[in-house]
Amino acid sequence: MTLILSTAILVTTLTSLVLVIRFRNTRIEGSVPVPVVTFLAILFTSGLDVGLIMFPMVDFQTFASEPDYAFANPLALEFGFWGFLVWGFYFLTTFYFCIVEPRLGLFEIPAIKFINNLTIIGTCAFTGYLFLHYLPDYISGIPDPLRYGGVALVVLVAVVSSTHLRFVKALSLGSTALFFLLILGAFLASGVGLSGLGGSLAELSGYFGQLHRFVLPINDYHAFYLFWWFAWSIMIGQFVSRFVGGLTAWQLLLALLVVPSLPIALWFAVLYGYFTGGLDVTGALGWAMIAVGVLFVVNSLDSLTRLYTQNIGLTIERLGTPGYVAVNWTILFALVLAFQFTPFKIEWVGLVVIGLYAAVYALVFLRRDRLAASS
């Protein structure tokens, strides 16, 4: 699996570089263009999930103790797993769905459409599973009935939110704002001051100085992250591509690499102050993290639920609002439980998505004449 993953990363990265050079001044616009700020908020909240909130403190411990990660500090490593370079996955798929898919319609081919929607549903459910799995770390002693019931309620809210696009846009903007408030509140509560925060941010140079090490899997845990990014990549590109508002290819790539990475870097730097200072993230801060984490889960699930329901016809127009909510809640929560109680893994979803990439590459090559004629 590692060889397949590494090959896929190299091929997609090279493709992105070729595209941004060849089409650097091509304007990219989706079917429902929105202002750049709204687009970036939708991208940020749809392209991330609760793991951004709940993983760092656990990962810092792992990175500080295992020899595989000795080449960089824990903050630089965590940023490398979540920021900058990995957002290039979304450039390739956003470009594809804005420029190529309208001309070739490959994702309307029944087999590709079916597999794509299965991966979307499976990845949506993984977001819910992460919240279920990590909730006890932030609410100590939470009983299982409350834990499972809370996740079921969050999934229900996300499905209801997906019934109207205006909910998706409003939640994206609102949760982005609340995320920045969380960063500010956590920073003020830490007491590290601007000098301490500046010192943490300076340690991010350990990422850029070792950038080449983050391209291919460092070990199995890094491979898990990269498979996870692949699992998200097609569906996020398919969803956010409709909101691009006329950016050129190079502007889109730059926006994807830099803009989401800034709040990620700031958030991780604040949490790194807690880690190095031995501070707890319980109490009011823990509850605030849970609240923003819930919003991130809802944001991820509602946008992707809206995507796959439109793709496969499980729409409100067909099922009615009560039927739509009931069917999609049942599907998603059942798969959350499948991640919890079966060997089902996100790596398998990522592997299927890599297979979709291979199929699309082959079909684009076979239909290159049609693509050229429609240019």
CATH number of the domain that residue 60 is part of: 1.20.1740
**175-179, 218-222, 256-260: least confident range:** 175-179
Predicted structure pTM score: 0.86
Token code pair at residue 16: 């992105």
pLDDT at 173 exceeding the cut of 80: no
**Residue 21 φ/ψ region, left for φ over 0, alpha for ψ in the -120 to 50 degree band, beta for the rest:** alpha
pLDDT of residue 124: 78
| CA 248 – CA 250 distance, rounded (Å) | 6
Show the domain range for 249. Answer: 2-373
pLDDT of residue 19: 93
Overall average pLDDT of the 115-126 stretch: 84
pLDDT band for position 41 (cuts 50, 70, 90)? confident
Contact 119, 234 (CB under 8 A): yes
Give percent of the chain with pLDDT exceeding 90: 39
pLDDT at 371 exceeding the cut of 80: no
| CA 246 – CA 15 distance, rounded (Å) | 21
| CA 244 – CA 336 distance, rounded (Å) | 31
Q: Name the domain count of the chain.
A: 1
Listed residue (339, 325, 327, 293) closest to 123, CA to CA: 339
Within 10 A of 89 (CB to CB), how many other CB atoms are there? 23
pLDDT at 232 exceeding the cut of 70: yes
pLDDT at 337 exceeding the cut of 70: yes
